[in-house]
Structure 1
Amino acid sequence: MHRIRSRTDVAARLRQAGFTLVEMIISLALMGIVAMVMIPLLQMPMNGYIDAQRRSELQAQMDLIRVKLTNDLANALPGSVRVTQVGANSYLEFIEVKGVARYRTSNTGGPGYCTPACGATDKLSTSCAENCFTTLGPFNPYGTGTGAVVPQRGDYVAVLPSAGSISPPAYVTTNNSPTVLLTAVSPPQANGSVGLRFNGHTFQADDPNKRVYLLKWAVSYVCTAGTAANTGTLTKRWRYGMALNQTTVFGAAVNNATLSTRIAPGAAPGANPCRFYVSPTPGPALVAPQNLRQTVSLQINLATMSGAGVVTEQTQADMQFAVREP
């Protein structure tokens, strides 16, 4: 006779059933293989997002650099742009202009602010040591500037020649240079004209358009290449004294702003991923700026780096900026 199994016997046998050790090992091995395949697939969207964030950051810094240089160079005194290279650092320098006006070439209608010098009073004479002249109207904003422009004692003004070279350059106030330091300024007249007084100074020549520039200060852009371990920087420095030779050392009190912290390391010995150029290239005497179009070029390579010093993302650009009489 066959024994009829009860439900209790079937349940007991089922409770005793399970995986063998070999089956469990095989299952774990298969799960490991699946995980090895799936984890990289799951990481791909995250890596893509991180790469996109890096590219976006570099592009944002590149756009900021382009906008800042475009705006700042629009305010540069014509012919004042100069560049130099010191080791791995590249320097761009120019004089920022605050305003521009026209000076008198006749005493007729002048306010009589200036005492006679060089046989004249309110008009500007470049034939001898002048010490005062008046403008034909107010100083107007220059380049991208806005608002009222009021000269003050301690400001610099420049009268640029129409031909030849500016020697000494506009960065100094020695005799025959185009730049002087104001010692006094008259209150504006009803038409906005002002009188400008300074120590005796012989200007090199007349400006053909009778323009006088009210200078603000010297400005520099300093580009430091990255190293094998870290990216470099592009920094703007301004509000420091002008000098005959281009400034490459700045005091702690000089205003500064960092435009980029992602300058790439040099790809080879002597290579520089961030360098300024200017054409025509000024020598010891700056070329005459009238009707001159200087072109500033910037070759730049931005990069992000990992903690191990490995470049993870980079972008390059060749930028050009026109500097000329507006």
Structure 2
Amino acid sequence: MRVQPSKGFTLVELIIVIVITGIVAVVGAVIIQGGVGGYVDQERRASLVADADRAMRRMSREIRLALPNSIRVNQCAGNPCVEFLATVAGGRYREGPGPAPVGGDPNRRLRFNQPDNQFNSTGPIGLADGSYPYYLSVYNTGQSGNDAWAGQSMTQARGVTLADDVAVPGETRVTLANAHQFPLSSPRQRFYLVEDAVAFVCETGRINRYRYDRDQAFNANAGNTLVNRVESCEFQYDAGSSTRAGLLTLTLVIQEEGERVRLQHQIQVSNTP
């Protein structure tokens, strides 16, 4: 009986298999790497857009509540910034005589010919009765002599107390911590309660939000970061007029590992005091 010799791979065949396997592995790795890289890039871009959009929306919500004519675009310590006075509530003050039997009581009117510290609000204010550490502003035009930032069209001291006027149902007695003479009356008898000054500052790769008293520097208190990875930002403001809304334009560029996202957002601001 004749035994057939066993057959195996020759060295040439083995080398060919190794080469082909290597080529397939390289091609597969390139394909997989491209897909994974594209997914990672897409996720990075989505993260950048989400962060920028979140910051824009936060700034937009707050800026829309700014005291009329209080927005100003500045350089804060050499960095682009937008500052404004943030309102928390408002109402309409009593200017004329009240209903019987208390009609004409001067304590229920807001007087402009002398410092005054008490008046009635003729409608809802949006706050419960109590004492609040707020300023009060009437008809701020932002012009010299009638500027809230200078404490002219806004009280210079904090402190507002609200209480129902039992003699006049539906009205609220507003008492100020210190008497103040407002330069101008409001054609629509509007007043605003102001909490603090706020600044959004573009600095060192991020946008920070600062909250401070109106006569302090913007960085008197620590800032809170709204968004990181900021490459550049720009604030442009058209104040408009008493009959046309102001327009604040925010432009933000954020980047990470070569990916850049540029967003622009416009905010209409009512400057009718």
Q: Which of the five TM-score ranges fits, normalised by the shorter chain?
A: 0.7 to 0.9
Q: Which residue of 2 aligns with 1:248?
A: 218
Matched to 1:135, the amino acid is S
Divergent runs of 4+, >6 A: none
Secondary structure in 1 matching 2:148 = coil
CA shift for structure 1 position 290:
3.9
Give distance in 1, aligned partners of 2:195 and 2:66: 10
Question: Is this contact kept in 2: 1:166–1:177, CA < 8 A?
Answer: no
Is 1:165 aligned with 2:143? Answer: yes
CA shift for structure 1 position 159:
0.4
Is 1:69 aligned with 2:47? Answer: no
TM-score, normalized by length of structure 1? Answer: 0.71
Secondary structure in 2 matching 1:298 = strand
Q: Which residue of 1 aligns with 2:270?
A: 324
Alignment partner of 1:302 out of 245, 254, 258: 254
CA shift for structure 1 position 98:
1.1
Q: Which residue of 2 aligns with 1:277?
A: 236
RMSD: 2.9
Secondary structure in 1 matching 2:131 = coil
Is 1:177 aligned with 2:145? Answer: no
Q: Mark the structure with the bigger radius of gyration.
A: 1
Alignment of 1:102-251 (within 5 A): 102-109=92-99, 120-140=106-126, 148-150=127-129, 152-161=131-140, 165-167=143-145, 169-173=147-151, 176-181=152-157, 183=159, 185=161, 187-189=163-165, 190-225=169-204, 232-238=205-211, 240-243=212-215, 247-251=217-221
Question: Is this contact kept in 1: 2:69–2:239, CA < 8 A?
Answer: no
Gaps of 5+ in 1: 141-147, 226-231, 265-272, 282-288, 306-310
Count residues in correspondence: 267
Give distance in 2, aligned partners of 1:90 and 1:111: 56
Q: Which residue of 1 aligns with 2:9?
A: 18
Matched to 2:269, the amino acid is V
Is 1:314 aligned with 2:260? Answer: yes
Give distance in 2, aligned partners of 1:59 and 1:218: 28
Percent sequence identity is: 25
Alignment partner of 1:44 out of 29, 34, 38: 34
CA shift for structure 1 position 29:
3.4
Gaps of 5+ in 2: none
Matched to 1:259, the amino acid is L
Give distance in 2, aligned partners of 1:164 and 1:64: 30
CA shift for structure 1 position 99:
1.0
TM-score, normalized by length of structure 2? Answer: 0.83
